[in-house]
Amino acid sequence: MNDRPPRVAIVGPTASGKSAVAVAVAEQLGDVELVSIDSMQVYRGMDIGTAKPTPEERARVPHHLLDLVAPSDDFSVAAFQRSYAAALAGIAARGHRALLVGGTGLYHRAVIDDLDLPGEWPDVRARLLAEVDDLGPEALYARLAGIDPDAAGRMEPSNVRRIVRALEVCEGSGRLFSSFGPGLDAYPPSPVTQIGLRWDRARSASLIEQRVHRMVADGLVAEVERIRDASGFSRTAAQALGYKELLAHLDGECSLDEAVEQVIVRTRQFAVRQERWFRRDPRVRWIDVVDDPVAEAGPAVVDALTR
């Protein structure tokens, strides 16, 4: 573990200013490389809707774990762990420091706590997905609750991807999904210093609405349509906020205004879930942002990186 570079993570809900703080800090210190901890920024071409760093930002500061796979490919937490380890090895070889930035809670915990992750059983997964189509997610959630109530209690009954994954592991490994690793309810000592950004709930909602409208103005609909027509979306990529709703619009299921409103509502709900996820972690040092995340949180991040 000693060959790993010093690491700090900026966490928190979407639209809280994490990326802006990270870029500013990296530019200030000069030897800091950014590592994206985002389950959707791994997809090439999904740029606007995932708020991926711009080409200009990426030219100014090294970024890692972006554009790893095509949108038509599925991607797993285990694959992300492997990519993360390779990125950190490169950063260490250059004698640089790593600044993690992102809001995907499970990916974040998987890398900072080096979670013990189960394998994959594609045939089992395919059968379970077919059962979802036939029986609905509620039936599979009830099955999971009967087999592994601890795992079921940690996920929403409507989260098809997580329900199927849990059942896949139970069937494929012969072990309970909840038995792998120390569990997400354990918060062991970590070499990663975590700094969380959060806004007043009303201000956060306003920032999210502004961001969604800006994404649409920047061409999000065309981005979704281009990917759909070129390669299509994998099961995992299609769950990305903004893309899922705009795919429904492009399929004629709702108007653009209705789709945009759904994106705003679901992103606000997602932000609340993100904050709750990170708030459970006692290792996070929270900074309540009032106006300017770079000015208000940047010094704390710099201090953590330079200790």
Domain ranges in the chain are: 7-116+190-199+275-306, 122-179, 202-273
pTM for the whole thing? 0.84
Tell the CATH topology of 7-116+190-199+275-306.
Rossmann fold (3.40.50)
The CATH label, of 1.10.340.70, 1.10.20.140, 3.40.50.880, 3.20.20.140, for the domain at 122-179 is 1.10.20.140
Dmax over CA atoms of the chain, in Å, equals 56
Per-residue pLDDT tens over the stretch 228-282: 999 999 988 999 999 999 999 999 999 999 999 999 999 999 999 999 999 999 9
Q: Tens-of-pLDDT digits for all 307 residues of the chain?
A: 334 567 899 999 999 999 999 999 999 999 999 999 999 999 999 999 999 999 999 999 999 999 999 999 989 898 999 999 999 999 999 999 999 999 999 999 999 998 888 888 999 999 999 999 999 999 999 999 999 999 999 888 989 989 999 999 999 999 999 888 666 778 999 899 999 999 999 999 999 999 999 999 999 999 999 999 999 999 889 999 999 999 999 999 999 999 999 999 999 999 999 999 999 999 999 999 999 999 999 999 999 999 8
Output the CA torsion sign for 249, 104, 43, 213.
Answer: positive
The CATH label, of 1.10.260.30, 3.40.630.10, 1.10.287.890, 3.40.50.720, for the domain at 202-273 is 1.10.287.890
Q: Which segments of 113-255 does DSSP mark as H helices, in order?
A: 122-135, 137-147, 149-152, 160-173, 201-217, 220-230, 243-250
Extended strands (E) in the chain: 7-11, 32-36, 63-64, 97-101, 193-198, 284-288
Mean pLDDT over each residue of the chain, to the nearest integer: 94
